[in-house]
Structure 1
Amino acid sequence: MKSDKKNIRHLSLPAIQEYFNTIGEKPFRAKQVYEWLWLKHAGSFEAMTNLSKTLRSSLEEHFTLPALKIDATQHSEDGTIKNRFRLHDGHLVEGVLIPTESRQTACVSSQVGCSLSCKFCATGFMDRKRNLDFDEIYDEVALLNQQSLESSGKKLTNIVYMGMGEPLLNYKNVLQSIERITAADGLAMSPKRITVSTAGVAKMIKQLGDDQVRFNLALSLHAANDKKRSEIMPINETNNLQGLIEALNYFYKATQSQISFEYILFRDFNDSQKDADELIKIYRQVPADLINIIEYNPIDRARFQKPDEEAVEKFMQYLGKHRVNARLRRSRGKDIDAACGQLANKG
Structure 2
Amino acid sequence: MATIKEKKNIRHLSLSELEQYFETLGEKKFRVKQVWEWLWQKHAHSFDEMTNLSKDLRHMLADNFSFPAISVDATQYSADGTIKSRFRTADHHLVEGVLIPTDERKTACVSSQIGCSLSCKFCATGYMDRKRNLDYDEIYDEVVLINQQSERVFNKKLTNIVFMGMGEPLLNYKNVLKAIEKITSPDGLAMSPRRITVSTAGVAKMIRQLGDDKVKFKLALSLHAANDRKRNEIMPINETNNIKALVDALNYFYQQTGNEITFEYILFKDFNDSHQDADELIKIYRQVPADLINIIEYNPIDQALFSKPDENAIQQFMQHLERNRVNVRLRHSRGKDIDAACGQLANKE
TM-score above 0.5: yes
Q: Say how many residue pairs are matched.
A: 347
Residue aligning to 1:307: 309
Residue aligning to 1:165: 167
- The equivalences for 1:69-80 within 5 A come to 69-80=71-82
Task: Give the distance between the partners of 1:112 and 1:5, measured in 2 at CA.
Answer: 23
Q: State the SS of the aligned residue for 2:157.
A: coil
Q: Deviations over 1:226-280 (max 9, x none)?
A: 0000000000000000000000000000000100000000000000000000000
Residue aligning to 1:21: 23
Cα offset, 1:3, TM superposition = 5.2
Q: 2:292 aligns with which of 286, 290, 293?
A: 290
**What letter corresponds to residue 147 of structure 1 in structure 2?**
Q
Q: State the SS of the aligned residue for 2:51.
A: coil
Q: TM-score, normalised by structure 1?
A: 0.99
Residue aligning to 1:253: 255
Residue aligning to 1:222: 224
Q: TM-score, normalised by structure 2?
A: 0.99
Q: State the SS of the aligned residue for 2:47.
A: coil
Q: Deviations over 1:6-29 (max 9, x none)?
A: 000000111111101101110110
Task: Give the distance between the partners of 2:135 and 2:298, measured in 1 at CA.
Answer: 30
Residue aligning to 1:190: 192
Q: State the SS of the aligned residue for 1:71.
A: strand
Q: 1:239 aligns with which of 228, 241, 244?
A: 241
Cα offset, 1:2, TM superposition = 7.0
**What letter corresponds to residue 56 of structure 1 in structure 2?**
R
Q: Deviations over 1:175-223 (max 9, x none)?
A: 0000000000100000000000000000000000000000000000000
Q: 2:340 aligns with which of 329, 338, 341?
A: 338
Residue aligning to 2:66: 64
Residue aligning to 2:52: 50
Residue aligning to 2:328: 326
**What letter corresponds to residue 296 of structure 1 in structure 2?**
Y
Residue aligning to 1:94: 96
Q: State the SS of the aligned residue for 1:212.
A: coil
Q: 1:207 aligns with which of 181, 206, 209?
A: 209
Task: Give the distance between the partners of 1:148 and 1:50, measured in 2 at CA.
Answer: 27
Q: 2:178 aligns with which of 167, 176, 193?
A: 176
Task: Give the distance between the partners of 2:170 and 2:244, measured in 1 at CA.
Answer: 19
Task: Give the distance between the partners of 1:115 and 1:6, measured in 2 at CA.
Answer: 28
**What letter corresponds to residue 204 of structure 1 in structure 2?**
M
Q: State the SS of the aligned residue for 2:117.
A: coil
Cα offset, 1:4, TM superposition = 1.3
Task: Give the distance between the partners of 2:329 and 2:130, measured in 1 at CA.
Answer: 32
Q: 1:275 aligns with which of 271, 277, 283?
A: 277
Asked if residue 36 in structure 1 is aligned to residue 22 in structure 2, the reply is no
Question: Over aligned residue pairs, what C-alpha RMSD do you find?
Answer: 0.8
Q: State the SS of the aligned residue for 2:247.
A: helix
Q: State the SS of the aligned residue for 1:105.
A: strand
Q: State the SS of the aligned residue for 1:46.
A: helix
Task: Give the distance between the partners of 2:94 and 2:309, measured in 1 at CA.
Answer: 32
- Identify unmatched segments of 5+ residues in structure 2: none
What stretches of structure 1 move > 4 A for 4+ residues in a row? none
**What letter corresponds to residue 114 of structure 1 in structure 2?**
C
Q: State the SS of the aligned residue for 1:168.
A: helix
Task: Give the distance between the partners of 2:283 and 2:23, measured in 1 at CA.
Answer: 61
